[in-house]
Amino acid sequence: MKIAILNTFYYPDEPGGAEKSVRILAESLLALGNEVHVICLGNSPESIKFNGVAINRMKIDNLYLPIGNSHKMWFERIAWHTIDSYNFWASNTLEKALAVIKPDVLHTNNLGGISVAAWTLAKRLGIPVVHTTRDFYLMCPQTTMLKGDISCKNVCAGCLPFSIPRKIVSKSISSVIGISKFILDRHISQGYFSDVRSSVIYNPFNARDSTYTSHGREVQLGFIGRLVPAKGIELLIDAFRIVLLSGVRARLLIAGVGLPEYENSLRQTAATMPIDFLGHVEPDSFFPSIDLTVVPSIWQEPLGRVAIESIAFGRPVVVTPVGGLPELINRQYGAIASEVTADSLAEEIKNMISRVANEGQEIYHAAIAAATKFLPLEIAKQYNVVYKAASVRN
């Protein structure tokens, strides 16, 4: 099968977990015998191959690439998002790429800078579209549905004009996939993808060759991710303080980077506690150094890739009850706080520390076993089924 995967960015441009997931999926589809072409954005047109996947970069048909633009003026951002509501120019550029590839199916993912005009184009060309919804792009120009640190329950008045074209065109695709039941249900409840075949397929992640290790009486807790308020790092520090006050011996390792002023405020808050800020650390070296992972998000995470990573390394996970995170957690290897509060999170962390001390090896093996459902080839096989169904239905 000839598959064209459309995503805003592709390797080596990987600003987030979505890009990693798309790359792993593309290479796994290739391993299953498909011909895989990726179409993405760049500063200039380019056609190369990486790990057997053909990569076609298009020059963006908008004011700038949607990355590293925090310095842009408000009127530039409004203009960018207005164009991105339905980008006719990007559609014309994409049509040329599709004319060369002639795919059996177009798999769209993150569409920032390309827009849902890709869907209308594919329908006109008779190419079935499978779309994976990985964030809130269709509802919110910022993709997060956040106002400050508060998650929006519905599309707000400011986002409504940008979301209307996206909702209308969403009815034209062949199939929609949510990376979690949460993110899929949220879109459908808001009127997106009406009468479109839907399914849930989680993100792929390779299990790692690792061994069970214990760090002794001082338990090592870990957080890894971007240092931004929505990730709940301040909540985690507050919860960790409560854990320490209860007499538990533990250390918290925080891996990731953020804006300097925010990082400094976190360091000041954590100054009197055994908390180490590690900066950027690769998962392969981070997870073996900890006993358990905490994912303290305060926003509605569509899935929470870090939880999958932790399980794949055999590390138990404690999460907040938001977004798609609870879908990934089984009591055999994880716990879900009852509320997004420091007290609730601290309680589950203490419980998990006790469990690690008494059942550490059993938890490790349960996590490793659970991670097999996220293996890339297994995920790619699920996508193959959706692609074939979309082609037949089209």
pLDDT in tens, the chain (394 residues): 999 999 999 999 998 889 999 999 999 999 999 999 999 999 899 999 999 999 999 999 999 999 877 788 989 999 999 999 999 999 999 999 999 999 999 999 999 999 999 999 999 999 999 999 999 999 998 888 888 777 888 888 889 999 999 999 999 999 999 999 999 999 999 999 999 999 999 999 877 666 777 766 789 999 999 999 999 999 999 999 999 999 999 999 999 999 999 999 999 999 999 999 999 999 999 999 999 999 999 999 999 999 999 999 999 999 999 999 999 999 999 999 999 999 999 999 999 999 999 999 999 999 999 999 999 999 999 999 999 999 886 6
Are both 125 and 244 inside the same structural domain? no
Single-letter code of the amino acid located at 19:
E
DSSP state, 251? E
State the Cα–Cα distance between residues 105 and 129, nearest whole angstrom: 6
Q: Show the CA angle centred on residue 141, arms to residues 94 and 131, nearest 5°.
A: 50
Are both 156 and 285 inside the same structural domain? no
Single-letter code of the amino acid located at 156:
C
Which three-class secondary structure state does DSSP give residue 134? coil
Q: What local confidence, expressed as pLDDT, does residue 393 receive?
A: 66
Q: What local confidence, expressed as pLDDT, does residue 216 receive?
A: 67
Are both 27 and 122 inside the same structural domain? yes
Q: What local confidence, expressed as pLDDT, does residue 156 receive?
A: 86
> What is the span of the domain harbouring residue 379?
2-204+375-393
DSSP calls for 39-63? EEEESS-EEEEETTEEEEEEE-SSS
Question: 243: domain CATH number?
Answer: 3.40.50.2000
Can you give the pTM of this predicted structure? Answer: 0.92
Are both 246 and 336 inside the same structural domain? yes
Are both 52 and 117 inside the same structural domain? yes
The domain total for the chain is 2
Cα dihedral 270→275→281→283 (10° resolution): -120
Are both 183 and 225 inside the same structural domain? no
Whether residue 237 lies inside any domain: the answer is yes
Q: What local confidence, expressed as pLDDT, does residue 215 receive?
A: 66
Single-letter code of the amino acid located at 197:
R
- Quickly tell me which residue has 């008045």 as its tokens: 157
Backbone φ and ψ for 133, nearest 5 degrees, come out as -90, 115
Burial (CB count <10 Å: 0-12, 13-18, 19+), residue 347: buried
Burial (CB count <10 Å: 0-12, 13-18, 19+), residue 37: buried
State the Cα–Cα distance between residues 271 and 388, nearest whole angstrom: 55
Q: What local confidence, expressed as pLDDT, does residue 394 receive?
A: 60
Q: How far is CA 95 from CA 99, 124, 361, in A?
A: 6, 10, 54
Whether residue 212 lies inside any domain: the answer is no
- Quickly tell me which residue has 């790429």 as its tokens: 97
Are both 386 and 365 inside the same structural domain? no
